Structure 1
């Protein structure tokens, strides 16, 4: 058997921790250090570690657990209040990047500038590049908001809600464009599946909540069972979302967390998943994004295209989502915070790019610029988010209305759960 994966895991955990501490010294979120660790260890720099299937699989489980935890720690009443605002933010956060991304791609992706040698029309190729820019990966933002104690703020819940809606709108856009290139894909069927997923989620959610509550009330003395059963529900919802309905697995995980968020043991379960996340899964997920950077055969024109695409990716999300937030009644600072929280593309954009390549909408030549956009937006999003919040703690009671609903703390997310979690656990009977 090959045991190098054990060495790879040890190097990833150590490097993400060390660089996380370094970035924390510079008052940046520690996830930035974890992302940089992946870039440095991967083929883009020293090539010490490859992004193997094993690491990719663990990374996928990591982002599922991260979003599940975010769901359990979310305030469902706040999410309901933020529903309309989230819809407007997500809508403009899709339309603006799509239009501007198409315009930029039209300038570069043509035979006189960059020759891709694809049979698909350049119009569809350029629209698809715009579709890639509509993607949002909120997992990095979730970790940053947790680190700053802002996850349940009005801004945080709006970002979470918008990210879920953004995922659905992105799937619809991807389905429409791929159906034009691949006659075997039916737009109507995919849209029906999306509607079916949310009907499924509501029905299963109500039944699961009732059964889980009754079962947990009968086994109040052993909390370990709750954690195992909660993880089973998370994985099943993730599987059903991706396999049966074509919706991202992280959306299923987030909804599973929402279902369990109102149970009496939610805080205890969230603390246990936080332990699993920070000790293994989250560092691997963040490093895996950096490990995916491969920049071979990058010509001068491709580098220019990558920089232009990067600028568009950052500005259009801040402007589009920020404008949506402003129209929803947020002030200028809150609108900027929401825009910055939606910048990260993460693994979602890579998945979209791979699906487009499978039907001839994405040339391998353009993967380099797309990867640059994914990695840089993922690194810069938590930095912009923290800067938009002011970068530091505020005195109690001095926060803006709607953004300071939780006491802020800045725990070391890569070493221990927050102190508030420890207090919550101390109040619960445990049998372990």
Structure 2
């Protein structure tokens, strides 16, 4: 048995914490340091670490636990109120990157700036697929940053979570439609039916777990570790079922598992146990693993130019698309900006989509480099931008109030008592 994995974990934990503390010193979220640790130690720089099967599996478990915790910390009532708005935000957050990103890709490919002769699909399909890649959203980075800032339960935070879940569903539909045009074995109707069944499955499981937990809590002691273990089992089973049976991302299943547990009597106790597990081991490995995926190939001037343009498009289209959706639904300007910034990160989701497209001949190997650059930049810049847009204090004070009342309102916003901030 090779015990090198022990050293790899030790290096990851030490480097992510050291760089996390450094980024905190320069007023950036610690998650940025964890991402940089993976980039620096991985193949893109010094090459001390590579992504092994063990690291990949632990990273997957890490993001599952992260989204499970996000589900437990979500304000369900606020999530219900923002349901329609989340759909509009997600819809525009998919349409704008798809149209603009696909259009830019078409200009570069159709004019011969990028050689895509290694794939057989038409230029139009290749371009649309690149637009589909840009529709992806990896909300895990945003969730960790908002937790660090104490802003996950805000109105904007709940809108981001709701929109990200719907974005995932819309992204699956878009990916299925495009790949079905290149691969006749993909059936769109079956995929849509499975997505509907997934939500039915979540509803049934939610009712069963709620009443079973309620009954169990009445006959068992307080703060039992067995409650956390069973909650973890529910999380893993729902994550597995989402991916394996319904074709929905496992993190979506984990998020809904967290929502279900949040309605039980033991949610705070269970959340405290998972926060320790995530902070101590799983989250650092997950964020470092994103950096370990970065391995930039050799690129010519045209590919570099395309990478620069498509990265700018990736940043702006999510801010504009999701921000516009938020404005249409009545959110204020600062809230729309927060939501748009929170949806920027593409993370590992874009890499997964890209790999699926390459497998069915929808994307040239020459485009993988620019996609990796988009993933790296959007992933690192999202937490950097989130901190200033969420920490800017918006204090609406109506009418004439005393100085004491003014300071009281400021304190309420600073301590997070006003959910609008």
Q: What TM-score bracket applies, with the shorter chain setting the length?
A: over 0.9
CA distance in 2, matches of 1:2, 1:133: 39
> Larger deviation: 6-15 or 219-228?
219-228
Shift of the 79–111 alpha-carbon distance from structure 1 to 2, 3 Å rule, reads: same
Contact preservation (8 Å) 1:153, 1:405: no
Q: Which residue of 1 aligns with 2:24?
A: 24
Alignment of 1:102-121 (within 5 A): 102-110=102-110, 112-117=112-117, 118-121=119-122
Q: Which residue of 1 aligns with 2:56?
A: 56
Contact preservation (8 Å) 2:151, 2:390: no
CA distance in 1, matches of 2:324, 2:412: 19
Q: Which residue of 1 aligns with 2:280?
A: 279
How many residues align? The count is 407
Q: Which residue of 2 aligns with 1:416?
A: none
Describe the SS at the equivalent of 1:109. Answer: helix
Q: Which residue of 2 aligns with 1:90?
A: 90
Shift of the 405–176 alpha-carbon distance from structure 1 to 2, 3 Å rule, reads: farther
Contact preservation (8 Å) 2:154, 2:419: no
Describe the SS at the equivalent of 1:242. Answer: helix
Contact preservation (8 Å) 1:152, 1:406: no
Q: Is 2:226 aligned against 1:225? A: yes
Q: Which residue of 2 aligns with 1:36?
A: 36
Distance apart, 1:75 and its partner CA: 1.1
Q: Which residue of 2 aligns with 1:376?
A: 377
Distance apart, 1:217 and its partner CA: 2.5
Q: Which residue of 1 aligns with 2:404?
A: none
Q: Which residue of 1 aligns with 2:238?
A: 237
Alignment of 1:239-278 (within 5 A): 239-278=240-279
**TM-score scaled to structure 1, two decimals?**
0.91
Q: 2:409 aligns with which of 375, 397, 415?
A: 397
CA distance in 1, matches of 2:294, 2:224: 41
Distance apart, 1:372 and its partner CA: 0.9
CA distance in 2, matches of 1:52, 1:352: 20
Distance apart, 1:191 and its partner CA: 0.5
CA distance in 2, matches of 1:367, 1:5: 29
Q: Which residue of 2 aligns with 1:427?
A: none
Shift of the 279–287 alpha-carbon distance from structure 1 to 2, 3 Å rule, reads: same
Q: Tell me how large the CA RMSD over aligned residues is.
A: 1.9
Structure 2: gaps (5+ residues): 396-406
Distance apart, 1:397 and its partner CA: 2.9
CA distance in 2, matches of 1:49, 1:56: 12
Describe the SS at the equivalent of 1:397. Answer: helix
> Larger deviation: 107-116 or 13-22?
107-116
CA distance in 2, matches of 1:279, 1:316: 35
Distance apart, 1:120 and its partner CA: 0.9
Tell me the alpha carbon deviations over residues 77-130 of structure 1, each in whole angstroms, 9 at most, x when there is no partner: 110011011111001000000000001101222472111221111111110000
More helix by share: 2
Q: Which residue of 1 aligns with 2:353?
A: 352
Describe the SS at the equivalent of 2:409. Answer: coil
CA distance in 2, matches of 1:103, 1:369: 16
Contact preservation (8 Å) 1:101, 1:129: yes
Moved over 2 A (4+): 390-401, 403-408
Distance apart, 1:400 and its partner CA: 9.6
CA distance in 1, matches of 2:283, 2:258: 17
Structure 1: gaps (5+ residues): 409-432
Q: Is 2:160 aligned against 1:146? A: no
Q: Is 2:186 aligned against 1:185? A: yes
Distance apart, 1:357 and its partner CA: 1.2
CA distance in 1, matches of 2:181, 2:412: 47
